[in-house]
């Protein structure tokens, strides 16, 4: 749980709607190659050449250190002063229920779940796990629960079979299901003990979206939106996730989202953002182009 989320819990009445982000290291924010702890981050950790970077006290891309941070930047630029966004920690149904019961999660809020951890090679058990996350929200309050599938690439894929979400397993009834299949099934489950629940559910197929975004980036500039470990998004992969969450929250016309501050930050720090890109073609304008492209403003 980040400090900003503690502020939300302690002063919930100060805010209108809140976007509660639950998840593991991806949601916590490893885009800069290290978790941000308020001290020093070494920007050479993101796979760029040290000669193109300078070590500073505080990363120049600090406003992008996590999904929540990127979303707060956009909320500020778009004058959404009553919208609070915070990383709440790992997905735990009992914690979610507590946050609903104490009024932290309220009607109109958004509760986003991400998971890229070990799934136990059991899609059926994972289905019940995700359904429990979902029901902890929508069975108790008229809020929006956002679930997402998960991606993985080499070298991560192949090294950790119990963390590959597209790998299929044979279930007891003979079906061949993946963990992503289990997430889709949980998002569409219509079994309720007490009638129609007050909340609603939205599924983001981030697995497919990241595949499409990565294919485009690699083909156009050899730019990779995923860190060399094959699982953690860098800044470009993280922005794709931000975009998809915003759309799930109702910002369907991305052309109306103000992004000029972020575009300027991308252009100013283009050297830090050239993850594997062709150096002859990588430039401030190219970095700005990719952010505009994500938000369909090009």
CATH number of 258's domain? 3.40.50.1110
pLDDT for 192 equals 58
Do residues 20 and 95 touch, judged by C-beta distance below 8 A? no
Phi/psi-derived region of residue 84, left when phi > 0, alpha when psi is between -120 and 50, beta in every other case = beta
**Domains held by the chain: number:** 1
- The SS3 assignment for 268 reads helix
Residues 179, 151 contacting (CB under 8 angstroms): no
Whether residue 118 is predicted with pLDDT greater than 90 in this model: the reply is no
Q: pLDDT at residue 216 above 90?
A: yes
pLDDT, averaged across the chain: 88
């989202």: which residue's tokens? 257
Tokens representing 105 are 């999660």
Pairwise pLDDT comparison (49 vs 45), residue with the higher score: 45
Q: For residue range 240-263, list pLDDT tens digits in order.
A: 999 999 999 998 888 999 999 999
- pLDDT tens string 181-204: 999 999 998 755 566 678 999 999
* Cβ neighbour number for residue 62 with a 10 Å cutoff: 15
- Cis, peptide link before residue 155, omega less than 30° from 0: yes
CA 296, 207, 190 angle in degrees (round to 5)?
105
pLDDT of 291 over the 50 cut: yes
State residue 3's pLDDT score.
Answer: 85
Q: Is the pLDDT of residue 101 over 80?
A: yes
Domain span at 105:
3-294
pLDDT at 39: 40
- Alpha carbon dihedral 252, 255, 260, 266, in 10-degree steps, equals 80
The separation between the first and the last C-alpha atoms of the chain, rounded to the nearest angstrom, is 36
């Amino acid at each position: 749980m980040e400090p900003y989320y503690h502020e939300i819990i302690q002063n919930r009445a100060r805010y209108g709607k809140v976007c509660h982000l639950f998840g593991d290291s991806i949601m916590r924010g490893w885009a800069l190659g290290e978790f941000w702890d308020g001290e020093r981050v070494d920007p050479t950790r993101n796979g760029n050449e040290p000669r193109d970077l300078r070590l500073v006290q505080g990363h120049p891309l600090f406003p992008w250190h996590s999904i929540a941070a990127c979303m707060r930047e956009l909320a500020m630029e778009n004058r959404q002063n009553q919208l609070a966004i915070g990383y709440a920690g790992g997905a735990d149904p009992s914690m979610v229920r507590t946050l609903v019961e104490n009024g932290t999660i309220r009607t109109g809020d958004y509760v986003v779940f991400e998971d890229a951890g070990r799934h136990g090679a059991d899609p059926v058990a994972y289905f019940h796990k995700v359904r429990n996350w979902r029901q902890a929200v929508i069975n108790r309050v008229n809020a929006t629960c956002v679930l997402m599938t998960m991606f993985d690439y080499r070298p991560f894929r192949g090294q950790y079979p119990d963390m590959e979400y597209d790998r299929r397993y044979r279930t007891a009834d003979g079906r061949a299901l993946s963990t992503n299949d289990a997430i889709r099934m949980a998002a569409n489950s219509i079994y309720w003990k007490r009638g129609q629940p007050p909340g609603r559910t939205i599924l983001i197929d981030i697995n497919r979206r990241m595949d499409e975004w990565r294919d485009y980036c690699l083909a156009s500039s050899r730019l990779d939106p995923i860190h060399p470990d094959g699982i953690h998004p860098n800044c470009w992969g993280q922005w794709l996730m931000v975009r998809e969450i915003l759309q799930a929250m109702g910002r369907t016309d991305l052309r109306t989202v103000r992004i000029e501050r972020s575009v300027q930050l991308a252009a100013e720090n283009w050297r830090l953002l050239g993850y594997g890109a062709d150096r002859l073609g990588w430039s401030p304008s190219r970095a700005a182009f990719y952010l505009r492209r994500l938000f369909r403003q090009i």
